[in-house]
Amino acid sequence: MRRSKKRIGILTGGGDCPGLNAGIRAIAKTAILDYDMEVIGIKDGFLGLIENRFLPVSYEDVSGILNLGGTFLGASNKANPFRHPDFKGRLRDVSDMAVENYQAMELDGLICIGGDGTLNIAYKLFKKGVRLVGVPKTIDNDLRQTDATIGFDSALITATQAIDKLHTTAQSHHRVMVIEVMGRYAGWLALYSGLAGGGDIILLPEIPYDIKKVCEVVLKRNQSGKRFSIVVASEGSRPKGGKMVVKKIVKDSTDPLRLGGIGNKLANEIEKITGLEARVTVLGHLQRGGEPSPFDRMLATRFGVDACELIAKGDFGKMVVLKAGQIKKVDLKKAVGDIKRVGLSDPVIKVARSVGTSFGI
């Protein structure tokens, strides 16, 4: 017998970030209060869809979670129904099984909160008949079509505060401080935190650096009496003609490369070339933790409410986006496939140059 109430599913895929709980809360509250729907939370992202693990979500379950980091549904940055390891570790396409589980859950729509990897998978599932809507999140802010993603602002605050703290100790000890921030193949987090934190040199994946130029800036500052320097390096930054530093390969992940190590490389080279003492701080997963900023809470709430409305209207295959302060929708197809990188003519690059920031070129 057909249920009287409609049922909506929510999953959080990929790496976590602050603001996911705020998004889940907004979707669930809107579904319950505005549309009298039932809410199902799928556990651990697409892994829950593959393994048929889910839980009912009540109004009480999402009460009091607005300010909590992480995701109470769990996430997986490996799970992919199109490439799922069998018991021998061989990657198999189990997407039909995921679709069957989705159907067995009797969902009228599914909201996938995720970054590029998750939304790519979501788009492929949509083409297989899964009625879904995407919500953009990632601390990397590298999703096309949207001005902001859930999590970026909170990570930006963490990284900026870290740069502020490194400034004082750099000054006391007359050192070069290299701070490695996340962002994968896009330099948004390094660019924005570097500018907000007053970094002297900002290194981005999009602008391969020349180590000699980096050292020239450091030495020039030293000679002019500024006996410390702050270098903000995106984990994906690389020297001209060189490669990104890969820390680890996670074979069964949607993006197998785990970047990391450029900070150490830079500090060693700077110390060797300039003769000045250099230290490195790798911010790592601190950037993904902690409470969401007010901006991220707002963004997640606005995205969540609008995504729920799209499901209620049956407007599937879309992603909610922020455009010039307004929440809009775009076809999921347009949002995935390629990422949003920092353009060389980006106004923020110009602003950084105007205040004397070097990009190591």
Contact 113, 10 (CB under 8 A): yes
CA distances from 1 to 6, 106, 179 (A): 13, 12, 59
For ligand F6P, the binding residue among 10, 28, 139, 217 (CB under 6 A) is 139
Element (H, E) at 114: strand 109-114
Quote the least distance from Cβ 1 to ligand F6P, whole Å: 43
**Catalytic residue (choose from 16, 44, 116, 140):** 140
Tell me: does residue 232 bind ligand F6P (CB under 6 A).
no
Q: What are the tokens at 52?
A: 């048929």
The CB-side HSE value for 341 (13 A sphere, CA atoms) comes to 14
Q: Does 182 bind ligand F6P (CB under 6 A)?
A: yes
Q: Is 184 in the site for ligand F6P (CB under 6 A)?
A: yes
Contact pattern from residue 284 through residue 303 relative to ligand F6P, giving x for each residue in contact according to CB under 6 A and a dash for the rest: ----x---------------
140 is known as an active-site residue: yes
Handedness of CA 337, 135, 194, 275 (dihedral sign): negative
**Which of these, 206, 209, 195, lies nearest to 239 by C-alpha position?**
209
- Write each residue from 62 to 91 as x if it is in contact with ligand F6P (CB under 6 A), else as -, in one continuous string: ---------------x--------------
Find residue 354's DSSP bridge partners.
none
Q: Which single residue brings its beta carbon nearest to ligand F6P?
A: 182
Task: Output 140 or 309, the one with its CB closest to ligand F6P.
Answer: 140
Using CB under 6 A as the binding rule, whether residue 282 contacts ligand F6P is answered as no
15 binds ligand F6P (CB under 6 A): yes
The backbone region for 120, taken as left when phi is positive above 0, alpha when psi lies in -120 to 50, beta otherwise, is alpha
Shortest distance, position 191 Cβ to ligand F6P, whole Å: 14
Q: Coil, helix or strand for 151?
A: coil
Min dist. Cβ of residue 14 to ligand F6P (A): 7
> What are the backbone dihedrals phi and psi of residue 40, each rounded to the nearest 5 degrees, phi first?
-120, 130
If binding is defined by CB under 6 A, does position 340 make contact with ligand F6P?
A: no
Q: Which two tokens stand for residue 87?
A: 């018991």
Q: Which spans of this chain sit near ligand F6P (rule: CB under 6 A)?
A: 15, 77, 115, 138-140, 182-184, 235, 258-259, 288
- Catalytic residue numbers read 140
